[in-house]
Amino acid sequence: MKLGLAAGKTQLVPYDPNWAALFREEQKLLIGWLGPLILDIQHVGSTAIPACLAKPILDLSISVADLQSTDGLIQLLSNQGWEFKGEAGIPGRHFLIKGPPAGRTHHLHIAEPFSRVRLNHLNFRDCLIAHPDLVQQYNDLKRGLAKQFADDVETYTQGKAAFIEMVLARAERDWRQAIAQDHH
Protein backbone atom coordinates (compact mmCIF):
# COMPACT_ATOMS: atom_id res chain seq x y z
CA MET A 1 0.00 0.00 0.00
CA LYS A 2 1.23 3.45 -0.89
CA LEU A 3 2.04 5.95 1.85
CA GLY A 4 0.88 9.54 1.66
CA LEU A 5 -1.87 11.86 2.80
CA ALA A 6 -2.47 15.52 2.04
CA ALA A 7 -2.07 17.91 4.96
CA GLY A 8 -5.32 18.62 6.79
CA LYS A 9 -7.04 15.46 5.56
CA THR A 10 -8.21 12.46 7.54
CA GLN A 11 -8.30 9.25 5.54
CA LEU A 12 -8.06 5.83 7.14
CA VAL A 13 -6.85 2.69 5.42
CA PRO A 14 -6.67 -0.93 6.62
CA TYR A 15 -3.47 -2.15 8.26
CA ASP A 16 -0.83 -3.14 5.74
CA PRO A 17 1.84 -5.66 6.85
CA ASN A 18 4.24 -3.98 4.39
CA TRP A 19 4.41 -0.98 6.74
CA ALA A 20 6.87 -2.91 8.93
CA ALA A 21 9.23 -3.33 5.95
CA LEU A 22 8.85 0.35 5.03
CA PHE A 23 9.77 1.22 8.62
CA ARG A 24 12.90 -0.96 8.46
CA GLU A 25 13.97 0.72 5.20
CA GLU A 26 13.55 4.18 6.74
CA GLN A 27 15.27 3.03 9.93
CA LYS A 28 18.34 1.95 7.92
CA LEU A 29 18.45 5.31 6.13
CA LEU A 30 18.17 7.23 9.39
CA ILE A 31 20.88 5.17 11.08
CA GLY A 32 23.09 5.75 8.05
CA TRP A 33 22.57 9.52 8.19
CA LEU A 34 22.50 10.04 11.94
CA GLY A 35 24.53 7.15 13.38
CA PRO A 36 25.89 8.04 16.82
CA LEU A 37 23.62 11.11 17.20
CA ILE A 38 20.69 8.84 18.06
CA LEU A 39 20.06 6.17 20.68
CA ASP A 40 17.12 4.26 19.21
CA ILE A 41 14.48 4.29 16.45
CA GLN A 42 11.02 2.77 16.95
CA HIS A 43 7.98 2.34 14.69
CA VAL A 44 5.05 3.99 16.50
CA GLY A 45 1.56 5.16 15.68
CA SER A 46 -1.25 3.20 14.10
CA THR A 47 0.86 1.83 11.24
CA ALA A 48 2.85 -0.09 13.89
CA ILE A 49 -0.23 -1.86 15.29
CA PRO A 50 -1.53 -4.95 13.47
CA ALA A 51 -5.23 -4.74 12.49
CA CYS A 52 -5.38 -1.01 13.29
CA LEU A 53 -6.90 1.42 10.83
CA ALA A 54 -4.37 4.15 10.07
CA LYS A 55 -3.74 7.28 8.12
CA PRO A 56 -1.19 6.15 5.49
CA ILE A 57 1.67 7.99 7.19
CA LEU A 58 4.57 6.15 8.84
CA ASP A 59 5.36 7.41 12.36
CA LEU A 60 8.89 6.96 13.67
CA SER A 61 10.23 7.82 17.10
CA ILE A 62 13.91 8.60 17.63
CA SER A 63 15.43 8.93 21.06
CA VAL A 64 18.35 11.26 21.68
CA ALA A 65 20.43 11.85 24.81
CA ASP A 66 19.63 15.58 24.94
CA LEU A 67 16.77 17.19 23.03
CA GLN A 68 18.38 20.62 23.40
CA SER A 69 21.51 19.49 21.51
CA THR A 70 19.91 18.40 18.24
CA ASP A 71 20.72 21.28 15.87
CA GLY A 72 23.18 19.13 13.89
CA LEU A 73 20.73 16.24 13.74
CA ILE A 74 17.91 18.54 12.54
CA GLN A 75 20.23 19.96 9.86
CA LEU A 76 21.19 16.46 8.65
CA LEU A 77 17.51 15.52 8.42
CA SER A 78 16.66 18.77 6.62
CA ASN A 79 19.38 17.97 4.08
CA GLN A 80 17.59 14.65 3.42
CA GLY A 81 14.18 16.21 2.76
CA TRP A 82 12.68 16.29 6.25
CA GLU A 83 10.83 19.48 7.22
CA PHE A 84 11.28 20.65 10.82
CA LYS A 85 8.02 21.71 12.55
CA GLY A 86 9.33 22.51 16.05
CA GLU A 87 7.43 20.82 18.87
CA ALA A 88 4.14 21.10 16.93
CA GLY A 89 2.07 21.56 20.08
CA ILE A 90 3.68 18.78 22.12
CA PRO A 91 6.36 20.00 24.54
CA GLY A 92 9.34 17.71 24.95
CA ARG A 93 9.72 16.67 21.33
CA HIS A 94 10.91 17.83 17.94
CA PHE A 95 8.62 16.98 15.05
CA LEU A 96 9.53 16.61 11.38
CA ILE A 97 7.57 15.55 8.30
CA LYS A 98 8.61 14.11 4.97
CA GLY A 99 6.86 13.69 1.66
CA PRO A 100 5.50 15.80 -1.15
CA PRO A 101 3.09 18.65 -0.26
CA ALA A 102 0.24 16.69 -1.83
CA GLY A 103 0.90 13.69 0.38
CA ARG A 104 3.17 13.62 3.41
CA THR A 105 4.42 10.09 3.97
CA HIS A 106 6.39 10.16 7.23
CA HIS A 107 6.25 11.77 10.67
CA LEU A 108 9.35 11.80 12.86
CA HIS A 109 9.15 12.39 16.60
CA ILE A 110 12.45 13.11 18.39
CA ALA A 111 12.52 12.95 22.19
CA GLU A 112 14.67 11.89 25.10
CA PRO A 113 14.47 8.16 25.98
CA PHE A 114 12.43 8.44 29.17
CA SER A 115 10.42 11.54 28.29
CA ARG A 116 6.65 11.38 28.68
CA VAL A 117 6.27 11.89 24.90
CA ARG A 118 8.47 8.93 24.04
CA LEU A 119 7.02 6.63 26.71
CA ASN A 120 3.46 7.48 25.66
CA HIS A 121 4.19 6.50 22.05
CA LEU A 122 5.75 3.18 23.07
CA ASN A 123 3.23 2.34 25.81
CA PHE A 124 0.24 3.12 23.59
CA ARG A 125 1.59 0.96 20.76
CA ASP A 126 2.52 -1.93 23.04
CA CYS A 127 -0.77 -1.89 24.95
CA LEU A 128 -2.82 -2.04 21.75
CA ILE A 129 -0.67 -4.85 20.38
CA ALA A 130 -1.24 -6.77 23.63
CA HIS A 131 -5.01 -6.11 23.65
CA PRO A 132 -6.68 -6.67 20.24
CA ASP A 133 -10.07 -5.77 21.78
CA LEU A 134 -8.73 -2.25 22.32
CA VAL A 135 -7.62 -2.10 18.67
CA GLN A 136 -11.21 -2.84 17.62
CA GLN A 137 -12.55 -0.11 19.94
CA TYR A 138 -9.95 2.31 18.56
CA ASN A 139 -10.88 1.41 14.98
CA ASP A 140 -14.57 2.05 15.71
CA LEU A 141 -13.79 5.42 17.28
CA LYS A 142 -11.44 6.45 14.46
CA ARG A 143 -13.91 5.37 11.77
CA GLY A 144 -16.65 7.55 13.29
CA LEU A 145 -14.35 10.54 13.80
CA ALA A 146 -12.93 10.26 10.26
CA LYS A 147 -16.44 10.35 8.76
CA GLN A 148 -17.37 13.35 10.87
CA PHE A 149 -14.08 15.28 10.53
CA ALA A 150 -12.59 14.24 7.17
CA ASP A 151 -11.23 17.76 6.58
CA ASP A 152 -10.48 18.68 10.20
CA VAL A 153 -7.45 16.75 11.48
CA GLU A 154 -7.24 18.79 14.68
CA THR A 155 -10.79 17.92 15.80
CA TYR A 156 -10.29 14.31 14.68
CA THR A 157 -7.17 14.13 16.86
CA GLN A 158 -8.89 15.78 19.82
CA GLY A 159 -11.70 13.24 19.51
CA LYS A 160 -9.19 10.44 20.19
CA ALA A 161 -7.68 12.04 23.31
CA ALA A 162 -9.89 10.40 25.96
CA PHE A 163 -9.41 6.95 24.41
CA ILE A 164 -5.64 7.44 24.24
CA GLU A 165 -5.56 8.46 27.91
CA MET A 166 -7.60 5.36 28.81
CA VAL A 167 -5.15 3.12 26.91
CA LEU A 168 -2.15 4.77 28.58
CA ALA A 169 -3.74 4.20 32.01
CA ARG A 170 -4.35 0.56 31.02
CA ALA A 171 -0.71 0.23 29.93
CA GLU A 172 0.42 1.54 33.30
CA ARG A 173 -1.88 -0.90 35.14
CA ASP A 174 -0.55 -3.77 32.99
CA TRP A 175 3.01 -2.69 33.74
CA ARG A 176 2.35 -2.47 37.50
CA GLN A 177 0.71 -5.91 37.49
CA ALA A 178 3.67 -7.41 35.64
CA ILE A 179 6.09 -5.89 38.18
CA ALA A 180 3.99 -7.17 41.09
CA GLN A 181 3.92 -10.68 39.61
CA ASP A 182 7.70 -10.62 39.15
CA HIS A 183 8.10 -9.90 42.87
CA HIS A 184 5.96 -12.87 43.96
Whether residue 13 lies inside any domain: the answer is no
Whether residue 10 has pLDDT greater than 90: no
Residue 156 lies in a domain: yes
pLDDT at 3: 83
Q: Is the pLDDT of residue 84 over 70?
A: yes
Closest CA to 56 of 43, 65, 64, 47: 47
Quick: pLDDT tens for 154-183: 899 999 999 999 999 999 988 888 788 877
Mean per-residue pLDDT over the chain, rounded: 92
| Residue-level pLDDT at 8 | 74
Residue 183 maps to a domain: no
Asked if the model's pLDDT at residue 27 lies above 80, the reply is yes
- Res 150: pLDDT: 86
CATH number at residue 148: 3.30.460.10
Q: Which residue has the higher pLDDT, 14 or 103?
A: 14
- 163 in any annotated domain: yes
Looking at the domain assignment, is residue 127 inside a domain? yes
* 3 domain-assigned: no
Q: What is the pLDDT of residues 30-83, one digit of tens each?
A: 999 999 999 999 999 999 999 999 999 999 999 999 999 999 999 999 999 999
Average pLDDT over every residue of 116-124: 95
Residues 122-146: pLDDT tens digits? 999 999 999 999 999 999 999 999 9
Q: Is the pTM higher than 0.75?
A: yes
Domain count, the chain: 1
pLDDT in the model for residue 183: 72
Region 90-95: mean pLDDT is 92
User: Helix 153-182 crosses helix 132-148 at what angle (to 10 degrees)?
Assistant: 170
Which range scores top for mean pLDDT: 8-22, 96-110, 116-130?
A: 116-130
- Residue 108's pLDDT is 97
- Indicate the DSSP class of residue 38: -
The boundaries of the domain holding residue 83 are 18-177
